[in-house]
A and B are shown apart, each in its own frame.
Chain A
């Protein structure tokens, strides 16, 4: 609506400018002195009018596109920022699946994001370090994903908005064989499964 209003104003201005320019011949009939010259002047005036309208339209479109781009960029920036917060990992102690005290605030942030974006759904994938039984690590990773989901469901998120999965020890972030690597690898990863194209930031974020 705003765009069409702006264009109407712009067109009106162009029409007025053309009228003041005196391009129109005087109405009383006069003997034709040089009818060819008059026809040329009419044609020039018509062309000038068309050009000025086209310029005004182009300018109006450019400004409208800029406004759209500005608002899209703002939306994208917010979406990226919120998606990055959503992807923050949580970590676990060796052979444990309980949420560590420091990590509940990471999950609280995800809860706020899910509440601010009702169409958003996510997956949680649990991972393990390489030390446990290869088979059992699939069950342990699954248990770690469930732990994060249960926390979020307990804080008001609908269970059908969160799916869980496990990769066991199959997908380490750091393939080294030391405690630094193991601590990195014992984790939950969070990914958007739907509704993540345009994310709102929760209040205060």
Chain B
């Protein structure tokens, strides 16, 4: 993993340079990783050019709606971990102004030279087109021209769809630069210690309670379209699985789970089948039920003296990763989605490797994440499916129940590294880690696919 570049150094350079030289071509040479001595100020530069393009989100002036859009956009672009965000003191005031002669011609004045001097490779500007339409423009600073323009029809700021619209625009900007869209237009579900399921946007904002107070729930899992999710509701010793619509709040029980203890539901990628764990007098095993045709309950595993649980479909629907105690400690296994061809998935050394739990397939199917005990604490791992090699992503505190972002390069997980259990997100490319909930007692997260 590449260490996080030190943003502050670059900012200091640019500020110092601006003070001394205003906009100067020298800056391009200063960003080469050497310490620079200038007018008695010694500045260490650790920025590696070419690693991540500099991104400047231009100010919008005193307009509440535009400023709100700008704030969401800037955070989304930062959280994509694909840019060096240019954050100057008072940088918000840096905006696109119309020069008098350009105003006369109806054009925009984009000060590419200044943005380049600030270290930006790209600049984003938000402007109002009509009362309910905004235009978001991505400028290629070195190319001296607009790269992409997105026109958004926006609902009122109070409408929950407002944030999601801006998130979609952010993802398109990431796509315009990197070729892969960001993950901002997605949501996470998680269970709070009060037993309720909550939903948040991928940036941690927009929190909504999905289940009522006083009802104890468990193991939420998204349907493939991000409009419904399955979860367990406890009642005494029983746990029934429900499927709930996020938009209408309507819910229905999955009939074969009405009795007994049923949990860890997982939708097949086509949404027709729900795999789940049932614990009963003979142990814990994985079942499937066709929720589209309301039929065809099947038992995929026969544990007898071992337990099988936590099913996770591959993105092509062909395989299911799961946890089994068939060799003693719980470890990660895989089977064809009809229950045949069961085999060990994530390799382990018998008697040495800690127990492993909570597998989830990456959106591209190339990796599986899970958590595994290391010296008594769970840590997040990623396995390369083709080579079956695993690597450990975390090491501080307890880190568990990982879930993939729709971009396939971020993973959310539960960590107690700062005390209470919270949701954190790690970027697999840069290793950057950030906390996205601050309410405590958070667990069992599930990240949706991109919400269109």
Q: Which residues of A contact B (CB under 8 A)?
A: 95, 123, 125, 132-136, 138-140, 142-143, 146, 149, 163-167, 170
Contacts and interface: CB of A to CB of B under 8 A. Distances in A.
A135 B402 CA distance: 13
B444 A142 contact: no
A173 to B, nearest CB: 16
B277 interface: yes
Nearest to B285: A139
B171 interface: no
B261 A166 contact: yes
Interface in B391-423: 400-401
A142 B283 CA distance: 7
Contacts of B242: none
B357 interface: yes
Contacts of B444: 134-135
22 contacts: A95-B329, A123-B237, A132-B355, A133-B355, A133-B401, A134-B401, A135-B263, A135-B277, A135-B309, A135-B323, A135-B358, A136-B307, A136-B357, A139-B277, A142-B261, A142-B279, A142-B280, A143-B283, A143-B284, A146-B283, A167-B237, A170-B216
Contact of B378 (A95, A133, A138): A133
A165 B325 CA distance: 19
B12 to A, nearest CB: 43
A189 to B, nearest CB: 10
Interface in B289-326: 307, 309-310, 323, 325
A135 B261 contact: no
B237 A133 contact: no
Contacts of B216: 170
Interface residues of B, number: 32
B284 to A, nearest CB: 4
Chain B CB count within 10 A is highest, among A95, A134, A165, for A134
A133 B330 contact: yes
B234 interface: yes
B281 A135 contact: no
A149 B283 CA distance: 12
A13 to B, nearest CB: 59
B70 interface: no
Contacts of B401: 133-135
Nearest to B330: A136
Contact of B323 (A123, A136, A143): A136
B371 interface: yes
Interface in B404-452: 443-444
Contact of B279 (A133, A134, A139, A163): A139
A110 B280 CA distance: 22
A189 B251 CA distance: 33
Contact of B309 (A125, A136, A146, A149): A136
B283 to A, nearest CB: 7
A3 to B, nearest CB: 44
Contacts of B280: 142, 164
B330 A166 contact: no
B14 interface: no
A135 B219 CA distance: 8
B264 interface: yes
3 A-B pairs with least C-beta separation: A165-B237, A133-B357, A142-B279
B261 A138 contact: yes
Contacts of A170: 216, 218, 234
Contacts of A139: 277, 279, 283-284, 307, 309, 325
B359 to A, nearest CB: 11
Chain B CB count within 10 A is highest, among A133, A134, A143, A167, for A133
Nearest to A131: B376
A89 B378 CA distance: 29
Contacts of B371: 133
Chain A CB count within 10 A is highest, among B263, B282, B371, B443, for B263
Contacts of A146: 281-283
Nearest to B329: A95
Contact of A138 (B279, B329, B355, B443): B279
A134 B443 contact: yes
Contacts of B325: 139
